[in-house]
Amino acid sequence: MADEEIDVKGIDKAELLAALYNNSQPLGMGFLVAKAEPMTKAAAQAVLDNQAGDTYFDYLQGRVMKIDIGGDTLNTWGYDRDNGAGSVARVVADLKAGKFDAIIDKFQENAQSATAATYNEPALEALARQARNQFRPR
């Protein structure tokens, strides 16, 4: 997968961060901390305000990002590698078309189907117990 640059000039950074977050997936131990609710623009703005100017996100609330949203272009390589080829381009195209709400709808559909198909309360408890035991001092 080659590095690709996507133009994001004129897109609100909070809206961009929220859309990328809502399109990303939990990865690794991120499953234990990932939130089931989509990120709003207001929540993304709060994250940006707390970052003190740092616009690179490796993981955010358990979701893999691997992207720097500073500037007028995005390098898509890391985000697309972990979230699917062309993911950044689709998110940016949706934002440019004014479809932020559609990204949130997709997030909610994916969260519901993943929860119903993959996770149930005992399975999550077992996963959390396994993680705690792995890091417990011996």
Between 133 and 11, residue with greater pLDDT: 11
Q: What is the mean pLDDT of residues 84-103?
A: 91
List, for residues 35-66, the tens digit of each pLDDT value: 888 999 999 999 999 998 999 999 999 999 99
Separation in Å, CA 29 to CA 19, 43, 59, 129: 22, 22, 11, 12
Q: What average pLDDT does the structure give for the chain?
A: 86
CA nearest neighbour of 126 among 32, 34, 63:
32
pLDDT on residue 45: 97
Beta-bridge partners for 73? 7
Cβ(80)–Cβ(4) below 8 Å = yes
Q: Domain ranges in the chain?
A: 5-135
pLDDT on residue 104: 79
